Structure 1
Amino acid sequence: MPQNLRSPRARWRKGSPMQRHDRLPPALRRWLIHAALPWSAASVLHLWQRTLREGGSESLALQRLDAAERATLRREAPRVWGAAYPVCENSP
């Protein structure tokens, strides 16, 4: 098979993305099920571990992920859906 059919990024990845997802802590996997954005296992795990390393709890880490997702949606919504798209500032 010709090499040009493979993604150049495929060489950068080590291991299976599903295996990385399956190794996430159960509470983090549950959060990902309901996430509005397609988070990578690496990015959520990084924020999760940083919160725990700073002395936070699992619930604080989940709150931090919620806040990061809300901030990303607020920032990206006008570019993706247009400036008139209603973004709720008081969303949970």
Structure 2
Amino acid sequence: MPGNLGRTSLKRSRNRRNPMQDYDNLPADLRRWVSSAALPWSVPSVQRTFKTALARTGDRKLALNELDRIEQKLTAKDIRTIWGRDHPNASP
């Protein structure tokens, strides 16, 4: 697979905007989170997910923790598809 996304079964879409400018415009805490994320989150996707988590929790730190939980769930789903159900981190 070309590009830097690696092998994944998760849905991808083409970004028609300037992803670096969009990334630079993120708040510092969200930019830090994206920079260490295991998955290649798009800026619109992480903004939408963070906004929803923030509305639900009312706290930025708790919303970032929610992003961690969501990413772990997505990663576990992808692990099962890529490496099989016997992988130690595969979801049941």
One of 16, 21, 24 as aligned partner of 1:22: 24
Structure with the larger RCO, 1 or 2 (CA within 8 Å, 6+ apart)? 2
The structure number with the bigger radius of gyration is 1
Q: Where is the helix percentage greater, Structure 1 or Structure 2? A: 1
Q: How does 1:19-58 map to 2 (within 5 A)?
A: 19-54=21-56, 56-58=58-60
- 8 Å CA contact 2:80–2:90 kept in 1: the answer is no
Question: Deviations 1:27-84 (Å, cap 9, x if unpaired)?
Answer: 0011112111111111111111122334511101101100100110111111011222
Aligned length: 79
Report the secondary structure of 2:86's partner residue. coil
Q: Which residue of 2 aligns with 1:71?
A: 73
TM-score by length of 2: 0.73
Q: Percent identity?
A: 38
Report the secondary structure of 2:85's partner residue. coil
Q: Which residue of 2 aligns with 1:84?
A: 86
Over aligned residues, Cα RMSD in angstroms? 2.2
Gapped regions of structure 1 (runs ≥ 5):
1-8
